[in-house]
Structure 1
């Protein structure tokens, strides 16, 4: 979620599927693919995970 928060802070919008985010430790994170997976698997996320996504502006109705 750090990569998503970093992308949102810099770009102000959700990443596209091909977005790759470089984290402060130098690691790369395929943020766009990760977000697509979260959306597809939303029914399997627990309440804390859903709340964290909601805090980042990604709600159940987002597609």
Structure 2
């Protein structure tokens, strides 16, 4: 479970980025009926149990 307000700071090519992980997870759960089979499969491979 990821709280909606949770953010992660990541570095890509030497630049810091703030990723709003909680918002992303919440959006994916809300829109899971609209995800393609490929997207659902990728999330399942990552261990996401709600797909």
- Establish whether TM, by shorter chain, passes 0.5: yes
TM-score (norm 1): 0.64
Q: Shift in Å at residue 23 of structure 1?
A: 1.5
**Structure with the higher strand share, 1 or 2:** 2
Q: Show structure 1 runs of 4+ deviating over 6 A.
A: none
Q: How many residues align?
A: 47
Query: Given the alignment, which residue of 29, 40, 46 partners 1:50?
Result: 40
**Structure 2 unaligned residues grouped into runs of 5+:** none
**Structure with the higher helix share, 1 or 2:** 1
Post-superposition CA distance 1:14-50 (Å, at most 9, x none): 4221110112221111000110000010010011111
TM-score (norm 2): 0.76
**Structure 1 unaligned residues grouped into runs of 5+:** 1-13
Greater CA radius of gyration, 1 or 2?
Answer: 2
- Cα distance in structure 2, aligned partners of 1:28 and 1:43: 27
Partner of 2:26: 36
CA RMSD, aligned part only? 1.3
